[in-house]
Structure 1
Amino acid sequence: MRLALIGFGNIATTLLTQLDAPLDAVSVLVRPDAADATRARLDGEFVKLSAERTVCTDLAGLLLTKPDLVVECAGHTAVKAFVPDLLEAGLDVILVSIGALADEALHGALTDAARDGNARLILPAGAVGGIDLLASLGAAGDLQVTYRGTKPPMAWAGTPAEETLDLEALSEPAGFFNGTARQAATDFPKNANVAATLALAGAGFEATQVELIADPQAPGNIHEYQVSSPLARYSMRIENLPSAGNAKTSVSTVYSVLREIRNRIGPVAI
């Protein structure tokens, strides 16, 4: 496989450390000011992953590497800037920043681009489980989904949570958001990808209700949701460890992307 990555932060580098099969090529798209540092890491700790390793600073350069699959892991701005053109070029893209699809215009543009390019926009389950069941139940309609996201206080640093809470002084759980999945994904782009994933798999952005909580006793990033449909009812609670170096992201997100890649290149997909 010829694998391309947009971004070379915590998610991308952790993903590359977990790939256990050599690749035909690895290419990475980063900002020009990050190119030298990215090239040094790629040619250092990831030298055995592939003999062909390329650092690109624009979309044209990435396309020249002829990737079979692209993984976006650089945030909402990168989704808007690069993913439509990649899909139109016929390249399948795994979207880590699923919350970007709360933007209806962008969601529509990506869907059209995938259709025009005969490509697939792949939405991994990320830090949450049961997406297969949720998507199946959604076909029957009349679906009710509520989600609660709980993280340690400093995982909410730099978000609107700081407007209502003193995160450093918090001594007990405190909720700071109640609303739709669309608003959660819009207001907390680095923290609410799970809410967006649940919405897209199930009842939609407006019908999926979200509560966000800061808890100093939280053992990690906790995702809980309840589903009710004419076919079944279920609830799920997942306690994820935060990704190293980024408390906002659950480390299982990386392994969800890894699963998508392994299903792509392995003889059996599950």
Structure 2
Amino acid sequence: MSTSATIGMIGFGAIGMEIASALDRLGESERLVATLVREGRAAPRAVHTAHDLLGAQPGVVIECAGHQAVRDYVPALLADGVDCIVSSIGVLADPDMAAILAAAEQAGGGRLLLPAGAIAGLDGLVAAALAGISQVTYTSYKPPHAWRGTLAEQAIDLDAPASEQVFFEGTAREAAAAYPKNANVSVAVGLAGIGIDATRVRLVSSREVSDPVGVIEAEGAFGRFRFDILALASPSNPKTSALTGYSLLQCARLGGAWPVFAMACAGRQA
């Protein structure tokens, strides 16, 4: 990926708006050549089909619109040779979709890329995986209101006065399937370390935090580490980190994203 690559974008919600605003502040708004949105939605250089997005000839495409957008558009982009930086990495919890994306990448040469900048500690996991990891746990603490509109409402009473309530414990694959808008980080942790079926995840509703806190813990032949990440919530979307958009943009501007399927070939299974 060229460090001067033009950028296409899928979606123009909270993350997409932050990316466009950052480009404006950097004086690089001309790098955004197209934004794929639904008919009727306003966005910078709006287009409405994958064909039109490809017609703008982006050097790299940033996805920031959710799992369905990955399913609908990213295979065609990969098959046309375009690198795609995917924020909704939890879509890989679906093995059928993972296979479709891998086949599209192999057919066209475009790479599915994982942005790491919003998640401190992933580089340590990648290195530790070579030395040998025996276990990885990712715990996500968010205030009760951030879990509204999810299956957490069926598992616990979000209005209960308890300081903390653990409402999910399972694998990263299970977490991403049940909480697709909240557990993308767990899949990223799994990809970087010992795989999404071996990575353990805990989801916690906590009155002790006002913004999302993620804790990555790993141990193995390399030793042991723990990363605590306080990621301030986006002002317009409490379910996502304010740093997410900047992570995606810096990967597009400067490189540094990780090729997902190359990681899998190195021993980390998607």
The match for 1:28 is: 35
2:187 matches 1:183: no
The equivalences for 1:30-179 within 5 A come to 30-34=37-41, 37-38=42-43, 42=44, 54-125=45-116, 127-179=118-170
Contact 1:96 1:126 in 2 (8 A): no
Give the counterpart of 1:254 among 242, 245, 255: 245
Amino acid at match of 2:39: P
Whole-angstrom distance in 2 between the partners of 1:93 and 1:166: 39
Contact 2:214 2:228 in 1 (8 A): yes
Whole-angstrom distance in 1 between the partners of 2:217 and 2:60: 33
The match for 1:15 is: 19
From the superposition, tell whether residues 78 and 63 of structure 1 become closer, same or farther in structure 2 (CA, over 3 Å): same
Q: Secondary structure at the match of 1:128?
A: coil
Q: Secondary structure at the match of 2:210?
A: coil
The match for 2:261 is: none
With 54-63 and 5-14 compared, the bigger mean Cα shift is at 54-63
Q: Secondary structure at the match of 2:40?
A: helix
1:32: Cα distance to partner?
1.0
TM-score by length of 2: 0.88
Give the counterpart of 1:3 among 1, 7, 22: 7
Whole-angstrom distance in 1 between the partners of 2:168 and 2:244: 23
CA deviations 1:150-175 (Å, max 9, x no partner) are: 00111111111000222234442111
1:194: Cα distance to partner?
0.9
From the superposition, tell whether residues 104 and 150 of structure 1 become closer, same or farther in structure 2 (CA, over 3 Å): same
Whole-angstrom distance in 1 between the partners of 2:206 and 2:32: 43
The match for 1:226 is: 217
1:77: Cα distance to partner?
0.5
Contact 1:219 1:239 in 2 (8 A): no
Whole-angstrom distance in 2 between the partners of 1:153 and 1:251: 18
From the superposition, tell whether residues 168 and 262 of structure 1 become closer, same or farther in structure 2 (CA, over 3 Å): same
Amino acid at match of 1:149: S
The match for 1:45 is: none
The match for 2:263 is: none
1:217: Cα distance to partner?
2.7
Whole-angstrom distance in 2 between the partners of 1:96 and 1:245: 17
1:245: Cα distance to partner?
0.9
Contact 1:144 1:229 in 2 (8 A): yes
CA deviations 1:211-231 (Å, max 9, x no partner) are: 100012313100001111212
Q: Say what the alpha-carbon RMSD is for the aligned residues.
A: 1.6
Amino acid at match of 1:213: V
Q: Secondary structure at the match of 2:159?
A: helix
Contact 1:181 1:196 in 2 (8 A): yes
Q: Which has the higher contact order (CA 8 A, sep 6+)?
A: 2
Q: Secondary structure at the match of 2:247?
A: helix
In the alignment, structure 1 segments of 5+ residues that lack a partner are 43-53, 266-270
Amino acid at match of 1:164: A
The match for 1:206 is: 197
From the superposition, tell whether residues 244 and 175 of structure 1 become closer, same or farther in structure 2 (CA, over 3 Å): same
Contact 1:94 1:257 in 2 (8 A): yes
In the alignment, structure 2 segments of 5+ residues that lack a partner are 257-270
Contact 2:62 2:252 in 1 (8 A): no
The match for 1:51 is: none
